[in-house]
Amino acid sequence: MHKIEILPYSETLKPYFDSINRAWVEELFSIEPFDQQQLENPEQYVLEKGGRIIFASLDGEIVGTVGLAKVDEQTYEMIKMGVAKSAQGKGVGMVLGKAILQEAKEMGAQKVILYTHSKLQAALKIYEKLGFQEVQVCSDKYQRCDLAMELLLE
């Protein structure tokens, strides 16, 4: 059994937010302008706007990350969930998802939304297990997304 530890954002972990997410986005899609902003300057584009970023360490190695972007006082968007290829299939995504939803609750969120693509089957399974439900076809918010999901928190 692998030991997955959740770590809060820190300056030393910042490069992993970029590298882990850039790897999967560039493999499957392309980096959009908003990606570039969030990946290169998460302090300004996520944290200072009331969001949060966490990381997953597996056996001492940083292998995953996910963030929350504040939409309004009750709503947050789950963003940039990525797990390194070397750690996929080991439960890291689920642990990250549960941890970031706990963060959302502690921040007073009543709803968490996310935008994704139907070809990301492993991610969709995680989102569904976490309780997210498809709500609509994705708007033009992101070029690479074709569906939106939401989770109402208690």
Q: Contact at 8 Å (CB) between 71 and 16? A: no
> Can you read off the two tokens belonging to residue 3?
């030991």
pTM confidence score:
0.94
CATH number for 53: 3.40.630.30
Helix or strand (DSSP H, E) at 21: helix 14-28
3-class secondary structure, 127 = helix
Which residues in the chain show pLDDT less than 70?
1, 136-142
Tens digit of each residue's pLDDT (9 = 90 or more) over 94-104: 999 999 999 99
- Strands in 111-116's sheet, in edge-to-edge order, are 4-8, 52-58, 61-70, 75-83, 111-116, 147-152, 133-136
Task: Please give the pLDDT value at position 139.
Answer: 60
Tell me which residue range forms the domain holding 88. Answer: 4-152
> Under 8 Å CB-to-CB from 44, ≥6 apart: which residues?
37
> Can you read off the two tokens belonging to residue 86?
């070397």
Task: Please give the pLDDT value at position 146.
Answer: 83
Tens digit of each residue's pLDDT (9 = 90 or more) over 83-127: 999 999 999 999 999 999 999 999 999 999 999 988 899 999 999
> Can you read off the two tokens belonging to residue 28?
């499957």
Q: Cα separation of 48 and 27, whole Å?
A: 29
Q: Report how many domains make up the chain.
A: 1
